[in-house]
Structure 1
Amino acid sequence: MAALQTDILRLQGFKPVNSLAVDMGLGHIKDAFPNATFPLGAVHEFVSTKTEDAAATGGFMAGLLSSLLGTSGAALWISASRTLFPPALKSFGIHPDRFIFVDLQKEKDVIWAMDEALKCGALAAVVGEMQEISFTASRRLQLAVEQSQVTGFILRNHYRQLNTTACVSRWKITSLPSEPVDDLPGIGFPTWRVELLRIRNGRSGVWDMQWRDGKLLPVYKSLSQVPEQQQKTG
């Protein structure tokens, strides 16, 4: 049965050998993924309706990309109206020069450029910002990554219709208040509510996460939520 499940996942675009090669630093969130591994060589969709949520999504994605890029990887960031402030990437351990920013005029050009970029196996990841994407277009992107094993991220900011796509997952990231520093609010570690709305062959869930000490860490509301092993180690 285990071998059959592995074969089914492989046919659906999950490449377990490559996925095990990178620890995305998601902690217990990884239990929601098939084989408890973040799917690489796949396209992930992030949705937001507000400007502040788009900024939170960019921060959470930067945390993921920090692990994915490692020490030598490169990525493309393609958009028609870029929301990312490149110097902010340093807060997540990424030098902006690791990204090639492609700013285009029309959203349809963003989809075309992302499709072409995902075919380049020399890239670690490709990020595309767009409002809308059809199932057909998302299927083309998924087929591209299954060949190149590049990981794709779609940011759908201010989307008009949340339609079905071929992406392996759909996420929604919202900002949470950070802990105050010296009684000054808003300058503590970035904190987010992470909603995994859909994951193929996995299970959805909601977690509170924080970027601290160069990695993603869970936020616990009480001691009872802390795993027993972590309680023993402090």
Structure 2
Amino acid sequence: MNALTLPRHPRHGPKAVAPVPDMALARGRVHELCGPARRSAALWLAGAMTGPVLWITPARNGDRLSPCGMAGWADPGRFLFADPRRDEDVLWCMEEALRSTVVPLVVADLPRPPGLTPVRRLHLAAETAGMAPLGLILTPGDGGAPGVESRWHMAPAHGADGPAWRLERRRARTLPPKAWQMRCQDGRLSAGPAAPPQG
């Protein structure tokens, strides 16, 4: 039986994934996406990149991505799915995938934020990898994983004009908090400054 062989990605390339200006996620680091539209945010970032995507989620989690729903964000054919039986194996799989130099984007859909030690291990794995992959951990609610490079919150903000989302950079090592209004126009997602939250 032949093993699945994926192309290795170049060691040199963009140091960050920047889908729109002033919004960059450093490669070789782990970032947190939280909020009710965290999976949409991860799919949007996947669409801004090239190459395969490894999406890891606990087997007991009944939520599964639908290829039809994914297609508006990113090509479903680029995704590989892993569903470990034990929750603790999700982070182990992510660590090994980041270190492997095979996939440029590794996503772990977690039931709760991990602790500082697992996040540090993920950073070390991503930093030592030859291709500087991007690691995303998805956490419910407002997130709160310690030690992440940045934390982003995305929530639906649909209106009469059509589908829309509010994306907030809530934490970053070198950048201040900021918010964007994301809109779907002509089948493409665009981002502009968000209005201040009401109330």
Fold match (TM-score > 0.5): yes
Larger radius of gyration: 1
1:1-234 equivalent positions in 2, closer than 5 A: 18-19=14-15, 24-27=18-21, 29-30=22-23, 37-48=24-35, 53=36, 56-69=37-50, 73-80=51-58, 81=61, 82-92=63-73, 94-130=74-110, 131-148=112-129, 149-158=132-141, 162-163=144-145, 165-180=146-161, 188=162, 190-213=163-186, 215-219=188-192
Unaligned runs of 5+ in 1: 1-15, 31-36, 181-187, 223-234
Structure 1 residue 74: Cα displacement: 0.3
Q: Which secondary structure does the structure 2 equivalent of 1:68 belong to? A: coil
Q: What stretches of structure 2 of length at least 5 have no aligned partner? A: 1-11
Q: CA deviation at 1:40?
A: 1.7
Paired with 2:55 and 2:175, the residues of 1 have a C-alpha distance of: 27
Residue pair 1:26, 1:216 contacting (<8 A) in 2 also = no
Question: CA offsets per residue over residues 33-58 of structure 1, 9 Å max, x none?
Answer: xxxx431221110123xxxx1xx221
Would the aligned equivalents of 1:63 and 1:215 in 2 still touch at CA under 8 Å?
no
Structure 2: distance between partners of 1:136 and 1:126: 18
CA RMSD of aligned residues (A): 2.6
Separation in 2, partners of 1:221, 1:152: 26
The Cα of 1:119 is off from its aligned counterpart by 0.8
Work out the CA distance in 1 between the residues paired with 2:39 and 2:156.
Answer: 11
What SS does the aligned partner of 2:72 have? helix
More strand by share: 2
The structural deviation recorded for 1:219 is 4.4
Q: Aligned pairs, how many?
A: 179
The percent identity for this pair of structures is: 29
Distance 1:155 1:101, change over 3 A: same
